[in-house]
Amino acid sequence: MSKPVVLTGLRANNDLHIGNYFGAILPMVEMARSNAGEYQINIFVPDLHSFTTPIDHRQLQEQIMNNLRLFVASGMPLGNPDVHIYRQSYVSAHSELTWILSCFTGVGEMARMTQFKDKTGKYGDERTSVGLFNYPVLMASDILLYNAVYVPVGDDQTQHLEFTRDIAQRINNKFGDIFLVPKSVPEQHKFFGKHEGLRIMDLQDPTKKMSKSDESGKGVVFLSDDPESARKKIMSATTDSIGKINYDQINQPGLANLLDLYELLGGNKEEFIGQEQYGPFKTALADKLSAFLSDFNHAYEQVDVTELEKNLVKSEQTMNKIANETLLRVQKAVGLR
């Protein structure tokens, strides 16, 4: 397609949380609403990525559809011809291109990936899969198959985007003009603006990022949380003993995180700066969060699943056509066709 491609995806395993919403889902929804005529917007569920780490496979299919419904509940305009929403595993070219690119990728390149080293430390060598090791190659395929120019990446994905650019240039240097190379990380940040790299921190441990894979869930506000449960999480959130509200990410990270969340929910943090009691601020934040979740949960329940599935089938037909054209160029280049 002639329009520049913007591509994003969120893993289907585990519930998505409020940080995913403000940092990834909402910016893409807003972009699709305002820029779909200028760009092609690809939003996919990377279900093949979902079990590079251990999961409960009995829940995967439900989580895939839940992930898609969250995008629709957030306002994604599915009726727009420039917006495509699809499942990674329904486009087989992802898997085949991954194998081909793997044969041009060094073991050392993958071993140096920070995410891989971090998760190897968590799971141990015996439980760390080859799929996790090879994850960046699959991500590169996700991007290169559709000639994607812009891909929102957080801090933990910048190495993967840099690898995508490297492998694309490597193939182009060896075989000619095969891939469109996506923009660099600084260019991505400039394009996506203020929400790029947004970090909502864990409510119990504000030194670490809120994570949907958190086992306790006590410091994470999931989009599926009921308003009362979310209220309790806010009221029990870790703050400090300083006794004065300041926006200080170094010395008062818990409060700074809550103040950021308050502004994301439409509040003005300045009205609480300088106050010496934390309770009224937490209550105000809990009220805003409860109202947001109540509205969001209602929108989620109103999603027409039948219409969503029709859009999936239509988009996946289009995506297969585009991806297979790219795959054929690669197959011809390496001598498979």
- pLDDT tens sequence across 127-148: 788 888 999 999 999 999 999 9
Contact predicate 333/177, CB 8 Å: no
- Using the predicted structure, report yes or no on whether residue 21 has a pLDDT greater than 60: yes
Average the pLDDT over each of 31-40, 236-245, 268-277 and give the range with the smallest value: 31-40
Residues 6+ apart with CB under 8 A from 184: 165
For strands 148-150 and 83-87, give the pairing. unpaired
Is residue 194 part of the annotated active site? The answer reads no
Q: Which of 34-43, 93-102, 129-138 has the highest mean pLDDT?
A: 93-102
16, 73, 76, 30: which is closest to 294 by C-alpha?
A: 73
pLDDT of residue 196: 46
Looking at every residue in the chain, the average pLDDT score rounds to 91
Gap between the Cα atoms of 99 and 66, Å rounded = 29
**H runs (alpha helix) in the chain:** 18-20, 26-35, 60-73, 93-102, 107-111, 114-123, 130-133, 135-144, 158-175, 185-192, 227-235, 253-264, 279-301, 305-334
pLDDT tens column, 285-320 = 999 999 999 999 999 999 999 999 999 999 999 999
Percent of the chain with pLDDT over 90: 71
Instruction: State the pTM of this model.
Output: 0.88
Q: Is the pLDDT of residue 193 over 80?
A: no
Residue 241 binned pLDDT confidence (cut-offs 50, 70, 90): very high
Q: Which of 3, 212, 244, 314 is catalytic?
A: 212
Q: How far apart are CA 323 and CA 142, in angstroms?
A: 9
Choose between 257 and 24: higher pLDDT: 257
Q: Above 90 in pLDDT, residue 330?
A: yes
Residue 11 has pLDDT above 90, yes or no: no
Per-residue model confidence (pLDDT) at position 214: 64
Quote the tokens at residue 173. Answer: 């240097």
pLDDT at 123 over 80: no
183 catalytic residue (yes or no): no
Which of 60-69, 83-92, 192-201 bottoms out in mean pLDDT, i.e. has the lowest? 192-201
Q: What angle do CA 113, 331, 101 make, to 5 degrees?
A: 5
Catalytic residue among 3, 122, 194, 209: 209
- Residue spans of beta strands (DSSP E) within the chain: 5-9, 40-45, 83-87, 148-150
**Pairwise CA distance, residues 255 & 236, whole Å:** 12
The answer to whether residue 235 scores a pLDDT higher than 60 is yes
User: Where residue 118 falls among pLDDT bands split at 50, 70, 90?
Assistant: confident
